[in-house]
Structure 1
């Protein structure tokens, strides 16, 4: 019997507290839109529309649930007392910056939820998941436990899936998940080469590191992930991100490079020691054809790449060895980037199409199409073992749109986060969502 293999995208569903608090130092888009009013309803619908469109293209598409916010449990750990509404009022009044952090809807960027290694690469032949600890930003460091619960509910068959605890909650092992991880392969069912990208060495300050913005991923974290997932030396490559581009707002590698199957699409300034690392990748990839598509400074500047998220696009396989780029409309609206993409699809590479999507609510908060999704390569047996209720189809698309219309606010200013009714609205919405997606009790308020 022929075994089929797929890459499945699991997109983060935008949460009810989607807002622009500008919490992420080093993320230029996030900071430039700080304090503007957001639309949680529009953000969620834009994300759902992208999920449905990819499903309609014949791709396997799933949904990743948002987190509970505001996080009153974190506030209690930090000394705020009383019932939930009293805790919210006290934190919003006494520590407004802290309160904004525990109200973030940043779990929408599911590329940061975990690092995933498919069964073709791992020593025990299982798909491995390690939630990212996200230690560099307080508001994101609240995510790994709930992300781990959601992942275990979605991939709950121990015959096929293995789940690890997130790395130690320490900046020495800062881990940002799939945003700094890329897998290249000739076919999703064949052993691949996993690229782990880091910004600094935690235990050697003499090595290159950015000076203006933080390097969120460490070399030591990348090594730990490869060990946990049972990867061999032959299918792991460790690459350092260029510190100079981190200091230009490239806070994750997926803002400056993206890969899929036999294509690595990257900017000229993306990495250190680029030529040597490309040779290492080619040697480990083997004799099959591999495309390194380098975008030069003269074609697209780092500034344009950051502003449009040219590389924070999805590179998806469309069949018969061809691929398509899923790009935000910001790429279409920038003359230089649009011209580059128009030329790219005419070249002799697997990339033959570009599809533009409006995800402005996410883009204004510092995340593009690739930030919204976690990629999981699965064979047909593994796919059959995934919780079927999270897989996108016409019925789920309609049901989730109705759910958003029922529960989400059309407009949310940062000051609205202190409204105690927002917590009640969010919990009501999430409780219903876990029933729609058949996740069980993954949220603290449900377990209480």
Structure 2
């Protein structure tokens, strides 16, 4: 019997297929396909075919396929104009070497050092808020997470000397993410990106040279480790690779963490019972002590809230792979040359794995209700397989720290309506202003 490809989703147009509707509202198209055909189906995107995998178990199995089957590099080339041939945009052999070089900065004693640095930055930001007022859960937390990422990756000294120059340049590069247009297209946004990238690399050149020659890496962040790392041939990474890796780390640490933190805060403020229970846990477990990875680990309810925010509002709306070799999923064969799409917002609402899926219910991640950890295992927001997020633990610590230190000092309330997600490609963040009123708790 010939291999069977997944069934085609409904409402395809002649020639264009599902492409116009997918560009307009990809989640609606994927949700309709799941409703019609279940965990695996096909979209026609113009002349191309995409297998969409949205079942929880099917997604987890497929996303763990090796690079030789489901390739990341062909679909991540949009990173090259921003940061160069680094990480997923590099050749796969180079990617493996670069990923291995980064692993030590996310392990062991390094994590405790990161926690102390983040605590210092968050405490300084909170001290500047005063006894009462309003901050924006999108804009202000984004600025805070960018400053934290800059410090961790490039060093506190660099941020203090060059932060005001670095921030707008980096934002111009980050805004230059482009999936469709050629990198040379002379649109104002892409021209700004190209100019900002050139200036960023020039700004970091002296910092990279210092990291190579200064025997004391204190204050240089991850950059000191990157400058000492070596390629597959044993030679040190060249300056452009070190700079690109540093910038892509800032990008990963800031873009996704800022958006997921904003959603976590907003969802907590919309659910007063969970907010009160989480605040009580923080006051019990942290009291006035400086947080450590160990004390943060004891904030189990806050951990469930973060997981539930990642389930309901994952900042990654679509994960893409290129099919380099045919593979089987749910009894179907996906041919070589197709694209495979994973859609966390749809997968995370599978009612068989997550009953009452639209409800904010952090206790679905508790050991009492989920002793085998199946709820957490079904989340796709951190990727999977050889491309699972390296900095997930550090991001979790950062989000816990910011929320815990805020709730330890303030009573927080949402000052406006609950925001909806942006509909732009890329990271899903809250649309519009997200004002949060704060008032200092009695001492």
Q: TM-score, normalised by structure 2?
A: 0.23
Between structure 1 and structure 2, the one with the greater Rg is: 2
Q: TM-score, normalised by structure 1?
A: 0.23
Q: Which has the higher strand share?
A: 1
